Amino acid sequence: MLHNSARAIDMSLHLHSQTDPRRHEQEGPFVISSGDGVHVHDDTGKRYIEGMAGLWTASLGFNDARLAAAAGAQFARLANYHTFNHRSNEACIDLMEQIAAISPLAPCKIFFANSGSEANDSMIRLAWYYQAARGMPHKRRIISRQGAFHGSTVMGALLSGLPHMHRSFGTNSDDILYATKPHLYREGHEGESEDDFADRLIHELEAMILKAGPDTIAAMIAEPVMAAGGVIVPPRDYFARLRQLLDRHDILLLADEVVCGFGRTGNWFGSQTFDFVPDMFSVAKGLSSGYLPIAAVVVSDRLYQAIADEGHRNGGFGHGFTYSGHPVTSAVAAEALRIYHEIDVVGRARALGSHMHAALHEALADHPMVGEIRGVGLIAGVELVADRRTRQSFPAEAKVGAQVERACRARGIILRNMGDVLALCPPYIVEPEQLDELVHALALAIEDTR
């Protein structure tokens, strides 16, 4: 266990991400000291199965030796260089070749950033640049969705449709429109079928577009599966119909693949699982298995050509980060992609995902506190309710999801609660027996809080 004074330092100095500061001052940190495959150990030595791959990140677990070696080798060879003014490096070139080989956009161009938020910000700047390049600078507004999470930079937070991301920040903007979350269980009308629900969402969105004026809208951004919004799997055909609608109104479709990318939904990218082709997509997290901060935007050739002409006219494309295409983060990501192919992450996400969903349904489908079990590939959400028949939620102040999360920890597993939804997003190296253990512990943890 960390020396008490070290815990006290965290309590007194650390303004934690996405944490209640006053509770932290009282409860202190949950300190993770080491990792071992799908397990992590806290500072008391207690071992947990990490059922969330950290923050939807550690696809290869927590101490992959090859990723460490790739970082070490690149540190020794070239530890830093930038990609401004035509500069590049071999690690970044290697990585781009690998991303392009699996990209649903071909040909494509790749822009590098350091986080999912920066990648999404970059997509918006690129969308604006593209619209200006085609003589439509008035196309500025962006459509997002209620419940979306796109990051914590100013634009990432603006795009996010989660109330706590806006409360007291004063970041509401008339330039962002929030469409309804495509969640039949919560947003569907009584007796509405999945197809009717999708139909209604598309019509509502069209009404929103017409009201705002299609000439004022640059793009719509969407996660194929909304992760932090509660693991929301959209109705079938939703994205295909969205794509048609946006095309009709000359609006770009930007996919946020920060969580879904690199196998999570049972295909390399979520857009493939839901059968649509975006104009651009962002990736981060799984790109390096979360080992180093790296993100990218993959841009279609159609957009690139206009952007390149505009950048040429402007005497340079005015966007980019000091660490875009950093050699060490690139080398680690390139190695992660090689491993993904070798272990067949797509096949594993499908097979392990089926196993996980079957286990969840067997253990929890009839549980009186479980309203919905959802997911696709190796990602799932379990929504807890006070009343299954009426779908009545627990009062927010009861913090039932947080209680279950704590009970999970006591039972040796780490999951994450988003309100009363427990999310599961294990590393691809998880074994079926470990998934059984995870689901069993979750079921017991729910019982613990009854």
Judged by CB, which is closer to ligand PLP: 104, or 116?
A: 116
Which of these segments, 19-27, 37-45, 92-100, 143-151, binds ligand PLP (CB under 6 A)? 143-151
CB of 261 or CB of 371, closer to ligand PLP: 261
Q: Are 422 and 48 in contact (CB under 8 A)?
A: no
Q: What are the DSSP E strand ranges found in 191-243? A: 217-222
Q: Is 149 helix (H, G, I), strand (E, B) or coil?
A: coil
Tokens of 25: 């001052």
Q: How far is the CB of 11 from ligand PLP (least distance, A)?
A: 24
SS3 87: coil
Under rule CB under 6 A, residue 220 binds ligand PLP: no
The verdict on 283 binding ligand PLP (CB under 6 A) reads: no
Q: CB nearer to ligand PLP: give 145 or 411.
A: 145
- SS3 string of 284-320? CHHHHCCCCCCEEEEEEHHHHHHHHHHHHHCCCCCCC
| Complex with ligand PLP: residue 258 or 421, whichever CB lies closer | 258
> Is the Cβ of residue 116 or residue 182 nearer to ligand PLP in the bound state?
116
Residue among 59, 74, 115, 393 that touches ligand PLP (CB under 6 A): 115
Residue from 392, 390, 393, 384 nearest 449 by CA: 384
The span of 183-191, 221-229, 268-276, 340-348 binding ligand PLP (CB under 6 A) equals 221-229
Q: Strands 141-145 and 413-414: what pairing? A: unpaired
Total Cβ atoms within 10 A of residue 345: 26
Does 255 help bind ligand PLP (rule: CB under 6 A)?
Answer: no
Choose between 273 and 434: whose C-beta lies nearer to ligand PLP: 273
Query: CA of 106: how far to CAs of 88, 266, 280, 297, 322, in Å?
Result: 21, 20, 11, 13, 27
Stretch that binds ligand PLP, among 4-12, 169-177, 255-263, 436-444 (CB under 6 A): 255-263
Q: Show the site string, 291-330: x = touches ligand PLP by CB under 6 A, - = not.
A: ----------------------------------------
**Minimum distance between the CB of residue 285 and ligand PLP, rounded to whole angstroms?**
7
Supply the minimum distance, in Å, between the C-beta of residue 259 and ligand PLP: 5
DSSP states of 396-448: GGG-HHHHHHHHHHHTTEE-EEETTEEEE---TT--HHHHHHHHHHHHHHHHH
**Binding residues for ligand PLP, how many (CB under 6 A)?**
15
Helix (H) or strand (E) holding 331: helix 327-343
- Binding of residue 223 to ligand PLP (CB under 6 A): yes
> What strand order describes the sheet that includes 295-300?
108-113, 295-300, 280-283, 252-256, 217-222, 141-145, 176-179
Q: Using the rule CB under 6 A, which residue among 39, 141, 145, 150 binds ligand PLP?
A: 150
Among 176, 179, 228, 423, binds ligand PLP (CB under 6 A): 228
Here the tokens at position 18 are 């996405």
Whether the upstream peptide bond of residue 432 has omega within 30° of 0, thus cis, is no
Both tokens assigned to 145: 């969705």
Candidate list 149, 238, 239, 262; residue touching ligand PLP; CB under 6 A? 149
| Contact call for residue 278 and ligand PLP (CB under 6 A) | no
SS3 content of the chain, % helix, strand, coil (to 5): 45, 15, 40
Structure tokens at 67: 């990723």
Nearest residue to ligand PLP by CB is 116
Question: Cβ closer to ligand PLP: 223 or 437?
Answer: 223
CB of 296 to ligand PLP, least distance (A): 12
Q: Rank residues 91 and 228 by Cβ distance to ligand PLP and give the closer one.
A: 228
The single-letter code of the amino acid at 211 is K
384 binds ligand PLP (CB under 6 A): no
Should residue 356 be labelled a site residue for ligand PLP when binding is judged by CB under 6 A?
no
Under rule CB under 6 A, residue 284 binds ligand PLP: yes
Report the distance separating Cα 321 and Cα 315, nearest Å.
Answer: 18
Position 259 contacts ligand PLP (CB under 6 A): yes
Q: Which stretch binds ligand PLP (CB under 6 A): 109-117, 189-197, 429-437, 440-448?
A: 109-117
CA–CA distance, 173 with 166 (Å, rounded to integer): 10
Please give the residue ranges that form the binding site for ligand PLP (CB under 6 A): 55, 115-117, 120, 149-151, 223, 227-228, 256, 258-259, 284
